[in-house]
Amino acid sequence: MGQGFVRRLQRGAIALSVMTLGMMGHAGAEDGVIKIGAPLALSGGLASEGAKQKLAYDMWLERINALGGIDVGGVMMPVELITYDYQTDGKRAGQLAEKLIIDDKVDFLTAPFGSGHTKITAGVAERYGVPIIAVASSEPVHNQGYKNLFGTLAPSGGLIDGMLDLFTAKKPDLKKMAIYGRDDVFPKIMASLMSKAATARGIEVVYEELYPVGTLDHSAATVGMRAAKPDWIYVTGYTGDLVLVRKQMEEQGINAPIVTMITGPAYREFVENLGPLAENVTSATWWHYSADYSGDDVFGTTQAFYDAVVKASGEEPDYVHASSAAALIALQKAIETAGTLDRDAVRTALQNLDIETFYGPISFREDGLNDNRNLPIIQIQDGKPVILSPANLATAEMRLNQ
């Protein structure tokens, strides 16, 4: 017996083992309970976002179970949410996603916040044929050919186009731009997309750098941007990065008519940590509580969701809360449409989903991203985020820095 044959036999055995484990993991119908697995960053660098996800999940879970659960082919089935803290560690996120499928026998998965960790857990879900609902907007996560990945966020590119339209209209003489981005999946993509789009519109990118994850000293970048004298400073990263960059910009005496940070100003923590330094910083987001959406879901309206989050946490909701709750609503509606917990049937229902919710419309493109819509452009004014566009949501006029 040749070694080639043995290797082929071993690979076949491994594939059969994976397939068998996947079938063994799908036990919800036998238990009479729908099991949803959720790796969450409850500690580490993304703990704030993870806590928001968990709050949104728990709010949805309480309401759906109060109604008796999800209607599965005429049978009301309660929902169990099984969560683990993956400690903002990508490798651990993948391991826990596999544990949830094999050991906990979940029927479906949700992905952690953020594109990088979503990509890891989506790869696990794809191997086992488990639909996974994400809060990630990056095309390089959704262009892997995964059939089981669906995300409630619209594509990142929509944020870029909206900002360019608004800012060039507000400042027609906008000619020079500085771009400074975190070298990580989503922030890097947002920096790259902006560089290409700005250049295509005739805006000169006079400074462009990426900074490594964990960078604490941004002085070289702030000095470089100050020397370039841009009309628009555009920085990407997560909230802690952006707070630090903004403080170091102040220390170096750097400013510009437009300062944008993606997506810090969408979060309460950004303003709380910066105080007056947050004023006039612009950003973009996927959802804002001033929108007026309604739908046939456990929250019903944007206002009702806002009130529920404030009551539960004392905080105003942001897009992380909203898109996370919307993810479970989308899964719920797909299960109800399918009338079964069969993963193939639920996957097909997700692919064909077209619903209105408190979060807004949800329908998935072929790559699993939520179809693009008018995404809010925001600015911190008088310590609060206000909406600059689209026109039907706008609550204030844009301010330029002097």
Cα(277)–Cα(99) distance, integer angstroms:
44
In the prediction, which pLDDT does 135 show?
Answer: 83
Cα(21)–Cα(280) distance, integer angstroms:
53
DSSP 45: T
Query: In which region does residue 349 sit, left (phi positive, over 0), alpha (psi from -120 to 50) or beta (all else)?
Result: alpha
In the prediction, which pLDDT does 10 show?
Answer: 41
Q: Under 8 Å CB-to-CB from 146, ≥6 apart: which residues?
A: 122, 123, 125, 126, 368
* Tally of helices (H runs) and strands (E runs) in the chain: 14, 16
Per-residue pLDDT of the chain (402 residues; tens, 9 = 90+): 444 433 443 434 333 333 333 334 455 556 799 999 999 999 998 899 999 999 999 999 999 999 999 999 999 999 999 999 999 999 999 999 999 999 999 999 999 988 889 999 999 999 999 999 998 777 778 888 999 999 998 887 778 988 999 999 999 999 999 999 999 888 998 999 999 999 999 999 999 999 999 999 999 999 999 999 999 999 999 899 999 999 999 999 999 999 999 988 988 889 999 999 999 999 988 888 888 899 999 999 999 999 999 999 999 999 999 999 999 999 999 999 999 999 999 999 999 999 999 999 999 999 999 986 678 899 999 999 999 998 888 999 999 998
Considering Cα of 250, then 252, then 257, then 258, what sign does the dihedral take? Answer: negative
Cα(318)–Cα(284) distance, integer angstroms:
12
In the prediction, which pLDDT does 18 show?
Answer: 36
Cα(370)–Cα(166) distance, integer angstroms:
23
Strand order in the sheet with 384-389: 204-211, 176-182, 232-236, 258-262, 282-284, 377-381, 384-389
Alpha-helical (H) ranges within 287-391 are 302-313, 319-338, 343-351
Cα(62)–Cα(69) distance, integer angstroms:
9
Considering Cα of 42, then 48, then 53, then 57, what sign does the dihedral take? Answer: positive
DSSP 278: G
